[in-house]
Each structure stands twice: as C-alpha cells, then as structure tokens.
A and B are shown apart, each in its own frame.
Chain A
Amino acid sequence: MKKFSWKIGVVAAIIIIAFIYILPTIGMVLKGETEPGLWPHKKINLGLDLQGGMHLILEVDTDKAVESTVERISQEMRSLLKKKHIRHGGVDRIETVKIEAKISGSENIDRFRKLLDEDFKELRIVSENTDADALTIILDLPDEETAYIKKSAAEQALEKIRNRIDQFGVSEPDIRNQGERRILIQLPGVKDTDRAKDLIGKTALLEFKLLNETHDVDAALKGDIPPGSEILYQIKKDPNTKRVQKTPFLVKKRTLLSGDYLTEARVQIDNQYNEPHVSIKFNKKGGRLFERITAENVKKRLAIVLDDRIYSAPVIQEKISGGEARITGRFTHEEAHDLAIILRAGALPAPVNIIEERTVGPSLGIESIRKGILSIMVGGILVIVFMVIYYKGAGLIADIALILNIILIAGGLAAFQATLTLPGIAGIILTIGMAVDANVLIFERIREEMRLGRTPRSAVDAGYERATLTILDANVTTLIAALVLFQFGTGAVKGFAVTLSLGVLASLFTALFVSRMIFDYFLSGRKIKQLSI
C-alpha cells in the first residue's frame, strides 16, 4: 500500500484542484449569477457562438492616413507660401502620396528651398527638374515616416474604438490588434448589431465648411464643378414615413474647423420641437477659430459635415463666441446619443472597413448549449453503458476515469481562462469517445495476457506496461494535430483545439494513473483469482 501512496496524493490533489476551479462556475449557474462568487473567482468563459454576440474584424485603411497627412502638409505648404509671399505655380498632391510644387523665378526658388529646409525637413525629394527659370519638384514622405504613420493610425484607431465601446457600455468587450492593420472586436450580448457597427465603423470626421453660394448647384451636378469646391449631400430620413431625402450642396473643399478642437458633445432636447440634437463645445483655440470664422462670414451658410455627409448648413446670423455649436438632423434619441459618443471619442485617423463579421443571436446560443449538453450526456451514457457491458468491472473503472476526465477538462478550461465554444463542446464529446480508447487498449492487452495463463496481478502489470507506449504514441499524434490547430485556428475553432488538447492530456492522466491506481487498490493485499474484465 505504501508503494503508491504518494501517487494517490498527487492524483487526489489534481482532482481537488480541478474541482475548486469548477465550483465557482457551478455556483454561478445554480444561483443565476453573472459573476463567479466563489474563490478563485474564475469561471468557464463562453464563446460568442454560445452566449450570443458580435465578432468583428476591422481593417484600418492606413493608406488613407498617409494620404491625409500628405494632404495636410501640402495645405500647410500652400499657406506658408502665401504667408511669406512666395509666388508659386501650384502645390498639389499627386499620385495620392506625393506633393508636386512648381515655382518660377530664381528669387522665389531660393526662398522656397530655404522654406523646405526649415519647415519641411521631413520631406524627401523624389525628383527635381529645372526648366529655364521654372522649378518642378516632387516630394514625398520617407519610408520610415510612412510606416510610422500607418502604425500609429492603427494604434489610434484601436484606442478610439475602445473609447467608443466603453462609453456605449458593453460588458466584457474584447478589443485587440490583429496583425498590423486589423482590429479584432468581440462584443458579447450585443443585440442591436447594426447600431453597434455604426458606432464602431464611423470615421466621425467632423468638418465645418462654407457653401459655395456664387455657383449654381444644378450646373455643378451636370459636371460644371468650380475648382476648390465639391458636391456633398444632406441625407434626411423621416423617422415616421421612413422616406429618405437627398439634397445636394455645393461646398468649398477647404476645412475651416474640424472635430479635433472638440472638448465635449452632449445630447440635448430642443424645447420647441422636442427633437434631440447634439450640442458640441470647442476648446479655447477651437472657440477662437469658430469666433473668427463666424465673424468673417456673416450671412453666409456654414455646412456641418460629418464623414462627407452634410448634417445642416445654417446661415451665420452673427459672430458666435463662446465656442458652442449644435448639430441637428432629425435624429432619433439613439442616433443622437451615439453621435455624441463618437464625437467625444474623436475621429478615427483613417477609415475602417469591416472585413469579417460573425453575429449569433442569444436564442441560437442557448439552443447550441442545450444541444451540446444533450450530446455530451447521450454520448457519455452510451459509452459508459457499453464499457460496463463489454468489460464488466474493469469497464466501471474506465467509466470512473472517463467522468474524472470531463471534470479535468472543465477545471482546465476555468483554470486557463480558456473559452468554451460550440466546436469546443464537440471536442469534449470527441474526447469522451477517445478517452476510453486508452482503457480499451489496456484491457484488451490484459485479456490477452490472461489467455496466456497469467495471474490477474501480473496480467494487469503486463497490460499497463505493454500498452503504455502505444497509448502515448496514439495520443501524441492527436495532440500534435490539436496544437497545430490551436496555432492556426481562429475564434470558435480555436476552442475546439483547446478542449481536444485538454482532453488528450486528461485522458493520458486518467488512463495511465487513475485507472491503474484503482486496479492496484483492488489487487493489492487480496488474492484475487478472477478479474472482472
């Protein structure tokens, strides 16, 4: 008995630890709580396919971030040239990420070069061409700078989106970078998925632009768009009739003020019409800018543009100081609420595209859990009954090992904070079938040894000894497949790899240690003549 008493200790300790990790989850289910109340406060996490929710993968269009940086630099260059009275024949963004500047006159060229050296040190000269008295220079950003802009755009996008989701209020969201420009978002329990997508996916670039009122909109629609202007639409949706009305506006391209200067955005209800609108507040610098813009453009129309869509284009009645403005647009309460959130969180540095979406409704998740548990029970009972019929007493030992196996998998899931998914449940079911395989190998070998006339004791010893290597080999190959799947798998399939790996390890442990120990217990000391196998 003493010989294997330390083994009993180890086995007992492992089983008790597994139990301790499962108890909080059991307690949660019994009491209907949402958080584990018992120590060690770890629960078995359910995947989105079981608890319902939304899984998104966004791709940050980081090229656009580079583009807008280049655009901003070219704007800066134009205004600096204007300020220093350097005459130029055009500073334009070409080939999306390059700046072409045309300067003529040797004095102008000298001063331009000086400006380049002083204020635009970061730019790389791609080519320059002097023709008689005119210089054409093409500039772009060095590769490291481009890479940096892309990287920080992806990082900022992640931060802003996290901010938006936090303010929206989703319990236990999972937001993380995936690769260089992708963002993985998991939102458990989200019901209104379209609303959540709107909240996450909007760039939320807020701009104030003047309307071009000297030119005819209809003529512009026919293709006669004056340089420096563009056509943007106001889209109004009547919440009652659901009719959508699209109104074109001719807008000057130059952005006078952007959402960068925003400090606050709140939902307010209009007293007159009882309609919600979003009131925004600028910081000091933004407030001063807004005051100047409104002072200079009294009686002109100022368009409030969000992601190239006009929300309203009111006439500036007088100079507005204090740095406050309001965005109206026949919002529902939800729309106004969400708009306020994304304005507060700020614009994304680059647009994002949803490249993968998987949404599961809560009822389907519950149904999956129900069917999964049913399959585990039926499959488990089939195997348990079969083993007892086929191997009698020894089958019972295998069954004990099998039940322990499931406890160990559950404990492992909780201890490693792994996520249980529907394929994960399939992995558990598969393990039930595979776990007894090890015992089958051992029992068949024991039967074989007994046919050769061995005593029960030596047959059991030989059975375990000879079958162990085969069992190890067979399980290692399955484990290799499971680990590879874990490495390459995504989402729900990864959950399968987790339970399969845990199952393989648990079944090795239960078959080689636990069932062996039970055999030893019955065989030791007693003279058993007949083995129930």
Chain B
Amino acid sequence: MQFVKSDINFDFIGKKQSAFILSLLMIAITLASLAIHKGPRYGIDFAGGTLIQAKFSSTVDLNTIQAGLKTAGLENSSVQLFGDSAANEYLIRTERSEKKSEGLSSKVSAALAEASGATVEISRFEMVGPQVGKDLREKALKAMFFALLFITIYISGRFESEWIKSGIMAGLLISAVVFAHNIFAYFKWDVGIGYLIAVALIVTLALFWVLQLKYAMGAIVALIHDVMITIGVFSILDLEFTLPIIAALLTIIGYSLNDTIIVFDRIRENLKKYRKESSAVIINKSINETISRTILTSLTTLMVVITLFFLGGGIIHDFAFAMIIGVLIGTYSSIFVASPILLAWQKTSAKF
C-alpha cells in the first residue's frame, strides 16, 4: 500500500511565498491573541489558586453550585462542566490559595451537598500558592530555554559537522544570556526570565547568521514557529497553560524536529549526488522524495494522540490537543518553513 506515489513531483518550493504569508499570518494572530488576552492564560499551576473537581450524585445546575460556593466563601469562582454531562462532574476554579487551606475541601463539599441536595465527592483538590506558581513558571521557562539551547547545540554540531562552531556558539550564547541578565539586574529591571529567553533567541539567530550555520537556522526557526503557533491556538481558544501543556510543548520541540531532520538529511545526500542542479531543484526533489515518510510518521503519531484526545479523559485532554496541533504544525513547518529558509540562505550568500 502506498499513499503517496513514488514518482511524485510537486512544486513545494514554488509555494513558499504563500506558505511564508500563511506562517506570518498565523504568528501575527498568535501575537495579537496574546496581546488581547494579556499574555497566556495560566492555569493554577502557574498563577496560583485552587481547583476543585466535584462529582454530584444527581443532576445540578450551575446556579445551584455557585450558590453553594457562596456559602463556602468562594464567590468569585468559575464553574465548568467536566467531561460528559451525564457524569455530573464539575471543575471549580478560584484564585484563592490560602496558606492554611484547612478544611476548605470538606467545607466546599458540605456546602455543595447542602445547596444541591445530592451527595458530593471531591475527586480532585489542587491548591498552588502564589510563590509556588511563580517558581513553576520560572522552571517551565527555564526548561524551554535549556531544551532549545541543547537542541541548538546538537543540531548545529550534527548537521554542519562542525562541533567547534557549535561549541563557540554555545559559549557565546551563554555569555550573552549572562550578560543580559547582569544588565537587567544592574538597572534593576525585574523583567523575569521571559525576556531573557527572547534575548537568547535573537542572539541564537544572529549567531547562526554570523557562523553560517544554515541548517541549524532552518531547524530552529521552524521549531520556534511550531511552538509559537501551538501557544497561539491555545490562546485563541482560551485554554489554560498547565504543567502538562509545558510537557507537550517540550515534546513538540523534540518531535517537530524529526520531520525536519528527515528532509535535511536527504538534502545533504542529494547535494552530493546532484552537484550540477540548482539548490532550489535539489531541495524540492528532497522534499518530494521524503514526503511519504514525513506524512506517515506524523500519521502514526497523530493516530495515538487523537486516541488519547478522545479516550484519555478530561485531565489529559488539553495535553493531547496540544500534541495534535504540534504534530500538524511540525509537519507543515518542516516542508514549508525549514527548507525555504535553507534556500533563502543560498540566495543571500554565495556558499551553500
């Protein structure tokens, strides 16, 4: 069986203009959505607060639950149906995170039981204090940063077979980040680690340019593209960023590179094979030769994450959703983002 004919010859590179516009548009929408929503919507893991999952023995309406919460002293809570409506299960979120949340769980369950007349089981209770939320936010950003750093070093070392350059790069990058950190500290700008990551990314791309690490440039740009758009989709749908979502983003960072690596490996192979062809032809040929496996590898992964999305239950739902978006965008970007960047390089600098 074969989905893609072996002699396929589609002009992927010819579509690079439209792809470029599409990608820019998606990133613009992401930034706009983040601006409108005033940054990503943090779940209690990062913002601090309390989350209560309550299961009722019979049907209740949202007003009854809100009334019950009011008697428990949780007026400003959001209540949301969790999973199937037949399960009578609700998620209650509140910003409150008392240091001594003594008895909050039983207080809420008693108040809800009284208001609804049903028996209530608190099946999940999560409280994260504001300091812990801040710590976890920093940790998550650090994890993203280090994953990008290590992958950058690996990709630039492996693809250009120039570990020395990649070492220099890592050194320069780390010094730049430390330098930026000290400057921020010197001027007492409490900017948080997000800005440091932005600085690190700009420095990374500049270094790729100066050190002529073209494959790494293509791969990392595609990667940032994937993560940003996944974040954008979450922001547009107003979904929460929680610890599992960060795990999904990191997995996307690792996984979306797979397809890019497949194409890049083939480009290098073909560059040796067809020395006379133009690089646009070689790149397009390589994409066509690998398109079948690019689609298939993504397809098998999509099969399992879609299964997880539908059958895995509410707790893992958003994680599976992030993975679906990430795998789709990752496949798109390896064809329409990473490779055209490689080509763009060829046009600006003589060496390829």
Contact = CB atoms under 8 A, between A and B. Distances in A.
Interface in A375-396: 375, 378-380, 382-383, 386-387, 389-392
Interface stretch (A216-224, A260-268, A279-287, A440-448): A440-448
Given A478-B254, A479-B254, A490-B243, A354 B313 contact: no
Contact of B312 (A353, A354, A426, A488): A426
Contacts of A480: 147, 150-151, 154, 254
A355 B44 CA distance: 12
Contacts of A451: 6
A485 B122 CA distance: 30
Contacts of B126: 357-359
A110 B155 CA distance: 74
Contacts of B146: 484, 487-488
A374 B311 CA distance: 7
Contacts of A477: 151, 154-155, 253-255, 257-258, 261
Contact of B323 (A59, A368, A430, A488): A430
A473 interface: yes
Interface in B160-198: none
Interface size class of A (residues with CB under 8 A): 35 or more
Interface stretch (A115-123, A157-165, A167-175, A431-439): A431-439
B102 A197 contact: yes
Interface in B96-139: 99-103, 105-106, 121-129, 131-132, 136, 139
Interface in A474-507: 474, 476-482, 484-485, 487-493, 496-497, 500
Nearest to A466: B269
B123 A493 contact: no
Contacts of A57: 132
B261 A473 contact: yes
Given A356-B129, A481-B253, A484-B147, A364 B101 contact: no
Contacts of B305: 429-430, 433
A466 B290 CA distance: 13
Contacts, number: 221
B254 A482 contact: yes
A194 B265 contact: no
A355 B255 contact: no
Interface in B224-252: 243-244, 246-247, 250-251
Nearest to A495: B247
Most central of B102, B140, B254 by chain A CB within 10 Å: B254
Contact of B143 (A354, A375, A487): A487
Given A359-B125, A382-B303, A441-B297, A194 B147 contact: no
B94 interface: no
Contacts of B293: 440-441, 444
B308 interface: yes
Interface stretch (B21-29, B59-67, B314-322, B335-343): B314-322
B85 interface: no
A194 B254 contact: no
Contacts of A383: 300, 303-304
B142 interface: yes
B101 A355 contact: no
B53 interface: yes
Contacts of A37: none
B86 interface: no
A390 B296 CA distance: 10
A197 B107 CA distance: 14
Contacts of A432: 304
B98 to A, nearest CB: 8
A24 interface: no
A112 B308 CA distance: 75
B125 to A, nearest CB: 4
Contact of B136 (A367, A387, A490): A490
Contact of A194 (B106, B128, B158, B258): B106
A423 interface: yes
Interface string A152-190: 000000000000000000000000000000000000000
A65 interface: no
A193 B105 CA distance: 8
Contacts of A478: 251, 254-255, 257-258
A493 B246 CA distance: 9
A359, A433, A437: residue with the most chain B Cβ atoms closer than 10 Å? A433
Given A426-B308, A440-B297, A478-B255, A355 B136 contact: no
A466 B266 CA distance: 10
24 contacts: A193-B105, A201-B102, A354-B127, A354-B129, A355-B128, A357-B101, A359-B125, A379-B303, A379-B308, A380-B304, A382-B303, A383-B300, A389-B1, A437-B297, A441-B297, A470-B265, A477-B255, A481-B251, A481-B254, A484-B143, A484-B147, A491-B243, A493-B246, A493-B247
Interface of B: 1, 6, 53, 99-103, 105-106, 121-129, 131-132, 136, 139-140, 142-143, 146-147, 150-151, 154-155, 158, 243-244, 246-247, 250-251, 253-255, 257-258, 261-262, 265, 269, 289, 292-293, 296-297, 299-305, 307-308, 311-313, 315-316, 319-320, 323
Given A194-B103, A371-B313, A487-B146, 19 more contacts: A201-B100, A355-B99, A355-B131, A356-B127, A359-B124, A375-B308, A375-B311, A375-B312, A383-B300, A386-B303, A423-B319, A430-B251, A430-B305, A434-B301, A470-B261, A481-B151, A484-B143, A485-B251, A488-B142
